[in-house]
Structure 1
Amino acid sequence: MSTKRTKMAVLMLGGVLLVAGCGNDKKEEAEAIGSSASNKLPMAITASIYDRGSVPTEEGTYESNRWTKWMNEQSGVEVKWTPIPRNQEADKFNVLVASGQAPELITSYDRNLLSRFVSQGVAQPIDEYIEKYSTSYKEYIQQHPELKPFVTFNGQTYAIASMRNTQAATMIWIRQDWLDKLGLKAPTTVDELIEVAKAFRDGDPDGNGVNDTTAIAMSNAYSAIIDDLFMARGGEWFIEDGQATLSFFTDRYKKALTLRQTLYSEGLVDKEYVTDKNWARQKQLWITGKAGILFDTYNNGPSADFYNSQPDAKLTPLPPLSTEFGKNGYQKEVPNYLLTIFNKDMKNPEAAMKFVDWMLDKGWYNLSYGMEGTHYELKDNVPVTLDSDKLKKEVSYASEYRIVHQQTLTPEFLLARAGSDPVDQMVQQAIGEAITVAQSTEYRKDFPYTPAVDAFTDVSGQFQKKWDEIVTKVTMTPDLDAEWGVAQIRSEWEKLDGSSIEAKVQEWYEQNKADFN
């Protein structure tokens, strides 16, 4: 009896092991089939691209041009691009997400927008994909730990980040030759800026005998620069006596609004700028020598068009101006450039990571400088531009496609790139000087990025439209003042449950402030 039971037990155990073995075999087979199926997925993705209207007609469109075709050929990944208007990105993305038509790679400068997509479940964590499919980006993010806070949500990685080529952003440019002609010194304070602007308005600095100059031209950076002078950029949060406070509700912002009104009422800016939606008129004033001061970015004042139109002009970046609150530097961008999330509906994450790695290894270089022998030649390992006009037409728009890059801009590098082209030398010399000026003074930014508070994100667009309307009204109406304007902004804020949002932002700040450094 004992022997029979033993034999029976052995047979039963063998059967169990056999079944288990078959189960393991089937599991391995299923995994192999799954892996095989994954490998058979098309190496194709869809991705967003900022549409700034800068692709020349003869070059094609943002969806199809020489560079989209080149990327598909060289990367081994077919990418279908979805253009997103830069000034409408939140609305456009929201529509695409709601309709289930959002691209698989969603790229934005706005971390708060992406944070919202994370909280809504639109985005997915990508740590596993980086570990499994990436080599270059995995190493890159380890080499740039300053980027990690911008891609981390709830302890997980939700985005691909790219470093900036320089942290310089905004700049006030001034015609040094106009200062010299009128015997003026470069302004060092806001009050001195107003006096110089009046001299440019009245002193016939272009020497044509006609009172036809506008002191200040601008771009969409105008409002930001005005506010930054007083450390009160519109819509940003500051810490005032330990409390998270919107810029509008500081004494500093009232001074910024007053300056905006003064420049307008004194005729120191073009009074049609409010309706100059694409800033074409402002650009024309600057390029044709009808304005002596430009509120713009660090790389947009000097250009071939400007120097070709004004060959004797001397252009200089203006060091930061002092106010009664001290001196604030020009805006310095955060360490990251673009942030890219993976849509939860992405079909082939391996293809996405392959494209990111290729872009980091090879793609970014040509998208920055063009093709060797056509757009540049290498001299001492520097891609020297062969034809600046050709580069502008055929390559300048391509940098938008760089999800990641390794470009670093220094004054020395920029000047070396210009080669022997005298106009490009002047352009790059001036841009290099601007980078140096931008680095000279600290820029106040109490929050490294917009607080990840959904309640604030939900009302931001609506609130901005309201404050823009109020600021414009105050600027153009002499009988109104900054006190009235701020009171109106406060009223609109409270209609959006602003006090409750302030409490939530304060709570978020207390929870996250230790990570800000």
Structure 2
Amino acid sequence: MTRKKLAAGPIVRNARKSAYAALALAFALSAAGCSGGETPGTGSADGETGAAGDKRGSITVSLYDRGTVPASEGTMDSNRWTKWVNENGPADVKYVTVPRFESLQKFNVLFASRQAPDLIFEFDTAYQGQLYNQKQLMPLDDLIAKNSTEYKAMLEKYPAIQKAATMEDGKMYLLGRPMELTPQHYLLIRKDWLDKLGLDVPKTPDEFLAVAEAFTQKDPDGDGQANTEGTGLSFVAGIILNHMYGTGFTLFGEDQIPWVLENDKVVHDWERIRSAISFQQKLYDAGVVDKDFVTDKNGEKQKQMWISGKLGIYGSNGADVGSYEALKQNVPDAEVIAMPLPETEFGSYSPLLSSPVQMTGMVNASAKDPVSVMKMIDFMVSDKYTNTIQNGIEGEHYTKTDDGRAKPIDPEKNKTELEYNRDMGMLTPLIGKNYGLKNKVSPTDAEKDFIKIYEQAEAAYMDPARPMVGITQRAYLPLLPQNLATINTNANKTMLDMAMQTIVGGGGQAAVDKFISDSQAVWDKAGGAQIDEFYATWYAENKDDAILMSDIYEMGKQMKEQQ
């Protein structure tokens, strides 16, 4: 099944002008922020009733585990913040942890054993669609209408969230939040290495390769050893280098988006994929990347090379101040800048930006106490929860400035006691005066440096003249019907394996050409033409109402103007 014109995002039957008028009004209203009163009914465990006299419920909630909880803080499912939730929230919560980079496997096991949590948080939009198609999700319209205050108010202020949550049957199944449009992926380069070697920031693929070779071969760190690498190729770096060629076919992940607009029609662009894989093969053959990048699926090895000062070009996920700070501790003289993606024969593109709306949550269709789940959702978008999860306890972790921003009392203490809880805020609105690095009251020296990097990324990546890749962001494409989703997943898994083998196997352009012809055969045999036709038909029928890439920039501009 597919989402009704709305796809996986706010694509509706209304005319675009009407939609934007509603959004503009909503963003204007949002300047005051979400209504934030504390949630009633916050008694202790064992069935104690709350202020409204309702019996206190008990629910399960999923929570990513990134392995970052300090031993002194406990574990991801039992620490000061999970305890705070159970002491202050409207229901007793048992957290079900899932490994961040193996979350889908864990969720599949939990669903198969009928142990999936009541409230599920997962960033992967394709997996959200899969659960919807499998009827694993609960419709939320009546639940919200009858039992919500905070979340209902947020939907009224940001109607795009409701549109993004609505599926083909006209009901809401997803939970989301408003976000500021910001750079999500950064291509960072060591400017001090460029200066030492007399090189400029690369502007073409050939220049990129030449710089990567110099970074690898000419001892840019001056230690007299051949121990540096020119560029990363795993995880985010691999995604970015494909985006450089204008293709959403990426090496890491099965959710591929290789469709582009040509002459106002959706086409499956194999030529962009050909050029992207050819370039990455050249990088690998030149010895400027980690030979074992294929197994570095979450980019951790690449990250360690970066922070140890041994990597020249790095694909960063988000404003990763922690990695930058670690780099500066190891190499105090390191100078880092965000670089525009080199221009290819297909044009100039930018890495991934955040979406103005992000869908992150779902309610299990088997949840036994959906009212308590809804109370918890309300609590999670309240000011009390938002301020606490983002900033800690007032008077202990922060004080308030005159303009209402949070000023850390002891930043080092907060690193230990606060930073690991970020995935508890997957419904927290990412907007306003307390959100974002640029709004920090007392930024550290590393943060001040990264604010400059962030501003460079804004200038380089947030220009519609250098757009993100594709027709629109993944969140705004229609969900594939289950049979097509299965075809897509299986075919892409085979093609990704073939792409990796082509990159590491050598053979030059002939090997790349063979990869493309073999991939086309795999796609055709699997029934991929049905998927190509599905997206082409969707665009032809919905292009006047759909939110396309240019519209996302406009939405982001409107959001920013209201902050």
Q: TM-score, normalised by structure 1?
A: 0.85
Residue 369 of structure 1 corresponds to 391
Change (3 A) 1:39 1:416: closer
Contact 2:91 2:375 (8 Å CA) reproduced: yes
Which of 316, 319, 343 lines up with 1:296 in the alignment? 316
Pairing of 1:188-337 with structure 2 (within 5 A): 188-217=203-232, 219-234=234-249, 235-241=256-262, 244-246=266-268, 249-300=269-320, 302-337=323-358
Residue 496 of structure 1 corresponds to 526
Residue 59 of structure 2 corresponds to 45
Contact 1:174 1:316 (8 Å CA) reproduced: yes
Larger radius of gyration: 1
Contact 1:471 1:485 (8 Å CA) reproduced: yes
Residues 360-410 of structure 1 show CA distances to partners (whole Å, capped at 9, x for unaligned) of 112122212223343333334222334444333322221201231123279
Contact 2:107 2:116 (8 Å CA) reproduced: yes
Pairing of 1:32-431 with structure 2 (within 5 A): 42-153=56-167, 154-217=169-232, 219-234=234-249, 235-241=256-262, 244-246=266-268, 249-300=269-320, 302-361=323-382, 362-379=384-401, 380-408=403-431, 414-417=437-440, 419=442, 421-431=444-454
Aligned residues: 478
Which of 429, 437, 455 lines up with 2:483 in the alignment? 455
| Greater shift in the superposed pair: 46-55 or 311-320 | 46-55
More helix as a share of residues? 1
Contact 1:41 1:348 (8 Å CA) reproduced: no
Q: Secondary structure at the match of 1:156?
A: coil
Change (3 A) 1:166 1:397: farther
d(CA) in 1 for partners of 2:410, 2:342: 37
Residues 419-439 of structure 1 show CA distances to partners (whole Å, capped at 9, x for unaligned) of 163234324443454344332
Residue 484 of structure 1 corresponds to 514
d(CA) in 1 for partners of 2:385, 2:488: 35
User: 1:489 deviation in Å?
Assistant: 2.0
User: 1:189 deviation in Å?
Assistant: 2.2
Change (3 A) 1:447 1:479: same
**AA in 2 matched with 1:393:** T
User: 1:510 deviation in Å?
Assistant: 4.4
Do structure 1's residue 466 and structure 2's residue 466 form an aligned pair?
A: no
Change (3 A) 1:396 1:169: same
Residue 7 of structure 1 corresponds to none
Q: Secondary structure at the match of 1:199?
A: helix
Change (3 A) 1:218 1:265: closer
d(CA) in 2 for partners of 1:392, 1:432: 24
User: 1:316 deviation in Å?
Assistant: 0.7
Change (3 A) 1:416 1:498: closer
d(CA) in 2 for partners of 1:109, 1:391: 25
Residue 29 of structure 1 corresponds to none
The CA RMSD measured in Å over matched residues stands at: 2.7
- Show structure 1 runs of 5+ residues with no match: 1-37
| Greater shift in the superposed pair: 438-447 or 64-73 | 438-447
Pairing of 1:10-29 with structure 2 (within 5 A): none
Q: Secondary structure at the match of 2:60?
A: strand
Contact 1:447 1:516 (8 Å CA) reproduced: no
Q: Secondary structure at the match of 2:199?
A: coil
User: 1:145 deviation in Å?
Assistant: 2.3
d(CA) in 1 for partners of 2:428, 2:272: 37
User: 1:332 deviation in Å?
Assistant: 1.8
d(CA) in 2 for partners of 1:238, 1:306: 37
d(CA) in 1 for partners of 2:433, 2:211: 31
Q: Secondary structure at the match of 2:469?
A: coil
User: 1:254 deviation in Å?
Assistant: 0.7
**AA in 2 matched with 1:287:** I
User: 1:416 deviation in Å?
Assistant: 4.9
Contact 2:261 2:470 (8 Å CA) reproduced: no
d(CA) in 2 for partners of 1:122, 1:516: 27
Residues 175-221 of structure 1 show CA distances to partners (whole Å, capped at 9, x for unaligned) of 11111222222122222212222222233221223333211135511
Change (3 A) 1:211 1:111: closer
Q: TM-score, normalised by structure 2?
A: 0.78
| Greater shift in the superposed pair: 504-513 or 142-151 | 504-513
Change (3 A) 1:385 1:40: closer
